Amino acid sequence: MSQTIQDISKNPIVLDIIQSALAEDVGNGDHSSLSCISADKMSRAQLIFKDDGIAAGIRIAYEILKFNDPEVQIKGFVVDGQRVSKGDIGFEVTGKALGLLKSERLLLNILQRLSGIATVTTEAVSIIGELKTKVLDTRKTTPNLRLLEKWAVTAGGGYNHRFGLYDMIMLKDNHVDVAGGISNAIRNAKEYLERNQLQLGIEVETRNLLEVQQALDMMPIQRIMLDNFLPSQVAEAVKLINGKCETEASGGITLVNIREYAMAGVDFISLGMLTHSVKSLDISFKIKL
């Protein structure tokens, strides 16, 4: 279930994120640095990992450094997706001290969070091991940082669910209840897609085996989500679905029980914890004289 880790550092959205974040942090100037350091002062710095984990965001850190000092010189030792140990040096950089100091907090904030996401994703994937189930993220991401956080999931060996409300029809419990049931919700969704000439997959969230059967009665759909099912109930649902569409388990799943859910035969497991409550990796950026 491995996949190629894409370099997203050149994505225009990443540049927008960098510019916006620096505007928030720097404002009308880094007065702490400007007040005591000359513009031509050169310095060297090292990025040091202080936790074991998976590195993610290295190339984005490079872009932050280059944005603040186009002439900065970087020597990399770690690549995105690589396992690191406490004390490992991610990269060394030589450039104007003012640029290094302006970059420090932003590159650390991004690296620490993305590396934390990649690390916990790798742990989830490794627990599932040889089983067919793929680990998915969710939309429970930090506003305006979804691209980076979802990319970090792939750096950790996981896969992306939908990116937003626009790239998949996902009928959750609220949609189903407001529409008057699963049958109505799916029928309405199919008519909407046809009427608007859209080609989007349909996923429907189910809360029990009765709703699973109701969804099956409205085939074809792309995927049935089994929400807050016990592992034994997931196994029953997978047997009932019998390969007619994809299956996804979600809700109440942790690193403690994820393998049990995967052993029930589900195609995907989605984990909000990968992005909404992850512990950042401890990383430092130390300037050397």
- pLDDT for 164-210, tens place per residue? 999 999 999 999 999 999 999 999 999 999 999 999 999 999 999 99
Task: For tokens 């965001």, name the residue.
Answer: 57
Handedness of CA 223, 216, 171, 277 (dihedral sign): negative
38 Cβ neighbours under 8 A, 6+ residues apart? none
Task: For tokens 């916990």, name the residue.
Answer: 120
Asked if residue 49 lies in contact with residue 283, where contact means CB atoms within 8 angstroms, the answer is yes
What phi, psi does 215 have (nearest 5°)? Answer: -65, -40
pLDDT tops 60 at residue 150 = yes
What is the mean pLDDT of the segment spanning 19-28? 96
What is the mean pLDDT of the segment spanning 232-245? 98
pLDDT tens, position by position, 275-284: 999 999 999 9
pLDDT tens, position by position, 199-238: 999 999 999 999 999 999 999 999 999 999 999 999 999 9
Per-residue pLDDT at 6: 87
Terminal CA-CA length for the chain: 45
What is the mean pLDDT of the segment spanning 75-88? 98
What is the mean pLDDT of the segment spanning 113-123? 98
- Could you give the residue range(s) of every CATH 3.90.1170.20 domain in the chain? 12-126+279-288
Quick one: what percent of the chain has pLDDT higher than 70?
99
The architecture of the domain spanning 128-276 is Alpha-Beta Barrel (3.20)
| Mean confidence (pLDDT) of the chain | 96
pLDDT tops 90 at residue 3 = no
**What 8-state DSSP symbol labels residue 141?**
-
Domain 12-126+279-288 is classified in which CATH homologous superfamily? Quinolinate phosphoribosyl transferase, N-terminal domain (3.90.1170.20)
Q: Write out the catalytic residue numbers.
A: 105, 140, 172, 205, 227
pLDDT tops 60 at residue 2 = no
Per-residue pLDDT at 280: 97
Task: For tokens 């050149």, name the residue.
Answer: 10
- Could you give the residue range(s) of every CATH 3.20.20.70 domain in the chain? 128-276
What is the mean pLDDT of the segment spanning 156-160? 97
Asked if residue 171 lies in contact with residue 202, where contact means CB atoms within 8 angstroms, the answer is yes
Q: Which two tokens stand for residue 102?
A: 């302006």
pTM for the model = 0.95
Per-residue pLDDT at 1: 40
